[in-house]
Structure 1
Amino acid sequence: MKISTIIENMKKYHKGYGTIDEEKTRDKVLYGNVDQECTGIVTSCWASVDVIEYAIEKGANLIISHEALFWNHGDHQEWLEESKNSVYLEKRKLLDDHQIVVWRDHDYIHSGIPYKGDYIDGIFLGLAKKMGWEDKLIVNPINEFEPSLLCSTAYSFDHSIKAKDLAKELIDTCHLNGIKLIGNSNADIKKAAVLFHVFGDANEAIKNTDKSDVDCLLSMELIDFTYAEYLRDSGMLGRNRVALGMGHFNLEEPGMEYMLEYLDEAIGEHIPAWFKQSGDNYEYMTKDCCHDH
């Protein structure tokens, strides 16, 4: 099957097909010639150099990535061409030498994949599957966001779990190098929610959090100012609330791993496919680590 057909079939599988604006969507062919037969597929959150080399090793010529390829919103390459950026040129050569196509699946997978007669965000269903939380989903996040907070989906646990224990479970299960813990590290968590991006102005998030019964915010980006400050003060005043800063790619990566479960159905044909974790962006040096050495 040609790569162009695979991409079109993937789009049709999602709720957003026919409504997502093809001119404005982020879901573009980021690199390569789609008019070739597919030899294999690698899914990942980000087509890093390691992911590209993994695809080469597997003989796969299609990478389905959730995020941009060349380090900027919209994946523009002109500025890199003009400046003759050495890393860009070397990464591009890897793709050229092995005729690899990179297609971004961002807006479509978030728009929803079929699930129990309806649609659900494929990324956060993947997180639920990875963590064994599928039966703990509070709502179908495509149809109704958690109303008490600016979040995309929420999970309700049968029994409370300590913040540090949940952090360790996330680190172990999702193969992370670490997690930032902000707020009350002794919080008892019965309800967790995936928080939308907080880049700066957090007035609405702060107002909604104060009235919310969510104990744990699973965050993507979380800068030191505004919301993080509020959470620290909340913890110092004994509020039962904590944020676990997993990082953007780490939180969404399980959704790209779960894609392997429905890829054949979506494409309409079996094509060899593998998941490659793009991995934690950070390595951590802690105080204890420094003292050990």
Structure 2
Amino acid sequence: MTNIQRVIEKLIEPARRFESTTDILVKGSANVDVEGIVIAFMLTQEVLEKAISIGANMIITHEGPFYSHDNWKEAYAEDPICNAKLQVIEEANINIFRFHDYFHRYTPDGIMVGLIRKLEWEKYVEENQPTATILTIPKKSVMEIAMYVKEKLGAPFVKVVGDQFMECERIGVLAGYRGGGELVIPLFQNQHLDLVIAGEGPEWEAPEYVRDAIHQREKKALIMIGHAVSEEPGMEYLQSLVQAYFPHIPVHYFKEKPLYQIY
């Protein structure tokens, strides 16, 4: 049998060693034998219940299970929603490992590898930076790229800033909460990009930069695809890695339904 600690050690092995306050065993015991693993971008109540129903006793989640980048907030200690979820976890003896910082520190970033693979853009990659991937793709319009990305990722929508008919070749891709101006604007400047595709970020930073660039007759565009949409492919990719590491353990990837409804 393989215990929880062995799985954790294998997961963090490819990353540069450092002290992470997020990537910890949030609940459970490192000495417990693993009977089944569920991997998810977000440990929602539904994912939790599905994991229990199939007999998995380890969940690897990218984001924190209690509605914060912190794994637990004392301010939520009396909240009934948090406590109901916590009770289910404890009663089912579920072991939860948060796998965020270490996966982002793979070389290249594991989340980005999954996203680029899902988009089938591996052959267009020019450079993998710590927080972004730079690509040169065959010329396509902003709208063509937006519709392609939406379809490949199964996204209910994407948000676009820019001329939908503008042709693009040089693209920067950033997953998760990396769509802020401090990352996006230098990419436009230094990499001579036509388009940036990002997960999410403040609407008054990169989107407004692109708006002003367009007004100045610069050919720039931005596509925001959403935090979960941009990082879920990375966790799906993680399933293949964990299954290869531990072929004797059942490993499942659960993708949640889209969070937002568009009216």
TM-score, reference length from structure 1: 0.81
**1:238: how far off?**
4.4
2:161 corresponds to which residue? 182
CA contact (8 A) 2:63 2:69 kept: no
The letter of the residue matching 2:119 is: M
CA contact (8 A) 1:47 1:278 kept: no
Task: Give distance in 2, aligned partners of 1:10 and 1:198.
Answer: 26
> Could you list the per-position Cα deviations for residues 111-170 of structure 1 after superposition, in whole angstroms to 9, with x for gaps in the alignment?
11xxxxxx321111111111111111112435xxxxxxxx5212221x111211211222
Count, aligned residues: 260
The letter of the residue matching 2:100 is: H
> Could you list the per-position Cα deviations for residues 240-274 of structure 1 after superposition, in whole angstroms to 9, with x for gaps in the alignment?
3211111122111101101122213444x531111
Pick closer, same or farther for the CA change 1:78–1:41 going to 2, 3 Å: same
1:136 corresponds to which residue? 124
The letter of the residue matching 1:259 is: L
CA contact (8 A) 2:158 2:225 kept: yes
**1:210: how far off?**
4.2
Task: Give distance in 2, aligned partners of 1:77 and 1:96.
Answer: 17
2:101 corresponds to which residue? 107
RMSD: 2.2
CA contact (8 A) 1:163 1:188 kept: yes
**1:223: how far off?**
2.2
The letter of the residue matching 1:88 is: C
Match of 1:154 among 130, 134, 145: 134
CA contact (8 A) 2:37 2:59 kept: yes
The letter of the residue matching 1:231 is: V
2:33 aligned with 1:37, yes or no? yes
Q: Secondary structure at the match of 1:262?
A: helix
CA contact (8 A) 1:184 1:234 kept: no
Match of 1:213 among 184, 192, 196: 192
Q: Which runs of 5+ in 2 are unaligned?
A: none
TM-score, reference length from structure 2: 0.89
2:70 corresponds to which residue? 74
1:194 corresponds to which residue? 173
The letter of the residue matching 2:28 is: G
Identical amino acids, percent of aligned pairs = 25
The letter of the residue matching 1:139 is: E
Matches for 1:234-253 after TM superposition, within 5 Å: 234-253=213-232
CA contact (8 A) 2:188 2:194 kept: no
2:82 corresponds to which residue? 88
